[in-house]
Amino acid sequence: SKKMAGRAVLLAGAPGTGKTALALGIAQELGSKVPFCPMVGSEVYSSEVKKTEVLMENFRRAIGLRIKENKEVYEGEVTELTPEETESVTGGDYGKVVSHVVIGLKTVKGSKQLKLDPSIYDALKKEKVTPGDVIYIEANSGAVKRVGRCDAYATEFDLEAEEYVPLPKGEVHKKKEIVQDVTLHDLDQANAKPQGGQDIMSVMGQLMKPKKTEITEKLRQEINKVVNRYIDTGVAELVPGVLFIDEVHM
């Protein structure tokens, strides 16, 4: 109902009475979809960054944005995952390189075998995909998302941290509503430090340990405009979260 948005609660009491435990309990109760940003009062003090900047950053961490898009995807349980290798065209001692990856996907209605680009294989490795996992691959961008382990394998182990999901219904190739949860701070960071650039300064900048940089007010206002446009068109929904500041007596 979002009736509590913009309100503050002060928890006061002697040490060890469970103030932090209560706040963490609230976070668990809200679930993973609601942004919860914990911080300590001492984090506000910094020689590099202004106090207002630290607070603003954490406020924006606690405001979520749920973006819904209809995308063309290939979804199913992975039945086969075979990287096909060829000799390296550069010659020398480089050996073989992955030319494409063959992946089999199965749903309740049927199955499909896909021959995909080697960049998809890198994405599959990053997501730690193995046969028996339920995944979807976006047709346009090639982005891979591991949804979970197929529930047919739920009895394999007595105790496991896996999330089991049912075998997808419908065809392998379909239109699906993709829901992404991001925070305003994620958008700030993505736009403050754009990755890429092949010149030597860009490469050196990526290699060196990044110094904590302040995100400008102008950038935040631009992002707010884009977010408001998304909300007005119904593409995105704002999710107010919780900012928990511990040890504020400091």
For the stretch 215-227, pLDDT in tens is 788 889 999 999 9
Pick the CATH number of 70-180 from 1.10.760.10, 3.50.50.60, 3.50.30.10, 2.40.50.360: 2.40.50.360
For the stretch 152-178, pLDDT in tens is 888 877 667 788 899 998 899 999 888
Percent of the chain whose predicted confidence (pLDDT) is above 90: 22
Higher-pLDDT residue of 189, 159: 189
Amino acid in the structure at residue 156: E
pLDDT grade for 180, boundaries at 50, 70 and 90? confident
Start-to-end CA span in the chain (Å): 34
Token pair of 243 as six digits: 């900012």
| Domain locations along the chain | 70-180
Round to whole Å and give the CA distance between 191 and 218: 12
Token pair of 111 as six digits: 């199955």
pLDDT grade for 107, boundaries at 50, 70 and 90? very high
pLDDT grade for 17, boundaries at 50, 70 and 90? very high
Round to whole Å and give the CA distance between 237 and 153: 35
Round to whole Å and give the CA distance between 131 and 112: 14
Are 77 and 133 a contacting pair, CB within 8 Å?
yes
β-sheet bridge partners, residue 66: 181, 237
For the stretch 111-167, pLDDT in tens is 999 998 888 888 888 889 999 999 999 888 888 989 998 988 888 776 677 888 999
For the stretch 62-100, pLDDT in tens is 999 998 888 899 999 999 998 888 877 665 556 678 888
β-sheet bridge partners, residue 240: 63
Are 77 and 128 a contacting pair, CB within 8 Å?
no
Q: How far is CA 233 from the centre of its chain?
A: 23
Question: Residue 250 pLDDT more than 70?
Answer: no
Amino acid in the structure at residue 163: E
**pTM tops 0.85, yes or no:** no
For the stretch 204-249, pLDDT in tens is 455 554 555 567 888 899 999 999 998 999 888 988 889 999 888 7
CB contact set of 53 (below 8 Å; sequence gap of 6+): 214, 215
Bridge-based pairing of strands 63-87 and 236-240 is antiparallel
Are 178 and 68 a contacting pair, CB within 8 Å?
yes
In 3-state terms, what secondary structure has residue 14?
coil
Mean pLDDT of 35-40: 91
Instruction: Give the per-residue pLDDT at 225.
Output: 92
Instruction: Give the per-residue pLDDT at 155.
Output: 80
